[in-house]
């Protein structure tokens, strides 16, 4: 893949910024193009450290705009795609499902069409689509999601991602487009917009505000450190079998309440508060509509076939995450003020 011209969509967002940084630094022989609309969750400060790299270029644009996507492929002679751009917050998908249909389905189709029109099937190109475990629906107590698990999306968000997954497979089967797909569990780490559970809780604990928890906090999620996810994407991009799907999980199942209690304990230590002080901020709120009880990823295919494994235990990764947010007040203030303030203040509940 030497000298490849790689388009990464959504590279100013949470996961995308970590992927862009990894590829720009690790592969100086690649030309990396970052296409991002810069919505509320996209922030160029997330990648300020590599903005002047010689093998990197940022392009502001919307994947829903077909002409923009076509122009990018044509003018930049794109060889490969890692597609991360997506609307991703379940609560917002319940309030405004059309935005998710447009970005996650229409946007993905625009990228697929541009790739199909630009590439020959046998020229070594790759369209890598990054998706979510939420497409599988909810689990019982003991099962785990496999790559063969039937899709059963329960929210507008997960339905839109399931649709985009199906489109990617259809373009592979119908047009011979070279693709891979990965479905990941809940990510956590630095640079995550504080609508999501962990950064929202960190910010609220720091400011001694209520920590909203849906229902009784019994919902279970598998947590994946975002830098481990970026490494998995790197592994799949370079070594994944064409046409295959790979599940990416952290093997870290936690109930929401258990996670928040651990986070409160870490924050008490970091902030010099008495043990149990931050836990007093926990506030249970009305459960979200269609809230899946449990997600858990089986990553054995990725581990056995491609040799990837998560590097951090959850407690270690969570402490590292807390340290970053406490050391980056300016970043947090920036994303929760100004043009972001109205949206942020509207959030009333925690989410995954």
- Please, what's the b/e burial string for 22-42 (b: 16 or more CB within 10 A of its CB; e: otherwise)? bbbeebeebbbbbbbbebebb
How many CB atoms neighbour CB 270 within 10 A? 17
Q: Are strands 245-248 and 220-225 parallel, antiparallel or unpaired?
A: unpaired
On the 0-12 / 13-18 / 19+ scale of CB atoms within 10 A, 261 is middle
| Active-site annotation holds for 133 | yes
Query: Distance (Å, rounded) from C-alpha 241 to C-alpha 220?
Result: 31
| Active-site annotation holds for 157 | yes
Token output for 299: 């990553």
Contacts of 350 (CB under 8 A, 6+ apart): 197, 200, 201, 211, 212, 213, 214, 256, 260
Query: Distance (Å, rounded) from C-alpha 132 to C-alpha 218?
Result: 21
Query: Distance (Å, rounded) from C-alpha 89 to C-alpha 343?
Result: 12
Catalytic residue among 133, 222, 227, 231: 133
Query: Distance (Å, rounded) from C-alpha 227 to C-alpha 184?
Result: 13
Q: What is the DSSP string of 59-97?
A: EE--TT-HHHHHHHHHHHT--EEEE------HHHHHH-H
Catalytic residue among 134, 147, 165, 228: 134
Catalytic residue among 30, 33, 136, 157: 157
Query: Distance (Å, rounded) from C-alpha 176 to C-alpha 240?
Result: 16
Query: Distance (Å, rounded) from C-alpha 326 to C-alpha 49?
Result: 19
- Provide the 3-class DSSP secondary structure of residue 348: coil
Contact 13, 46 (CB under 8 A): yes
Name the residue among 262, 277, 285 with its Cα closest to residue 212. Answer: 285
Q: Which residues are catalytic?
A: 133-134, 157
């Amino acid at each position: 893949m030497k000298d490849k011209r790689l388009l990464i969509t959504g590279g100013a967002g949470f996961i995308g910024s970590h992927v862009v940084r990894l590829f720009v630094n690790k592969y100086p022989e690649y030309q990396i193009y970052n296409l991002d609309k810069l919505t509320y969750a996209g922030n160029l400060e997330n990648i300020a450290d590599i903005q002047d790299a010689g093998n990197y270029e940022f392009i502001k644009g919307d994947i829903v705009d077909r002409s923009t996507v076509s122009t990018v492929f044509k003018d930049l002679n794109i060889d490969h795609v890692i597609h991360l751009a997506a609307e991703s917050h379940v609560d917002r998908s319940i309030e405004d499902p059309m935005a998710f249909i447009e970005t996650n389905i229409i946007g993905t189709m625009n990228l697929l069409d541009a790739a199909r029109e630009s590439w020959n099937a046998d020229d070594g190109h790759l369209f890598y689509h990054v998706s979510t475990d939420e497409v599988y629906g909810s689990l019982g107590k003991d099962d785990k999601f496999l790559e063969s698990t039937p899709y059963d999306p329960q929210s507008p968000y997960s339905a839109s991602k399931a649709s985009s997954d199906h489109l990617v497979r259809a373009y592979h089967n119908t047009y011979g487009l070279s693709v891979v797909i990965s479905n990941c569990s809940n990510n956590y780490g630095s640079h995550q917009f504080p609508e999501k559970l962990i950064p929202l809780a960190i910010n609220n604990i720091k400011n001694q505000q209520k920590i909203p928890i849906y229902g009784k906090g019994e919902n279970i999620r598998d947590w994946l450190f975002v830098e481990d996810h970026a490494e998995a994407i790197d592994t799949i991009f370079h070594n994944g079998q064409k046409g295959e799907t790979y599940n990416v999980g952290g093997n870290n199942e936690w109930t929401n309440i258990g996670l928040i209690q651990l986070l409160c304990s870490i924050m008490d230590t970091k902030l010099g508060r008495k043990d149990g002080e931050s836990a007093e901020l926990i506030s249970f709120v009305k459960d979200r509509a269609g809230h899946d009880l449990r997600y858990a990823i089986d990553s054995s295919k990725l581990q056995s076939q491609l040799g990837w494994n998560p590097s951090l235990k959850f407690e270690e990764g969570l402490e590292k995450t807390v340290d970053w947010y406490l050391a980056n007040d300016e970043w947090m203030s920036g994303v929760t003020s100004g043009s972001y303030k109205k949206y942020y203040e509207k959030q009333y509940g925690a989410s995954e």
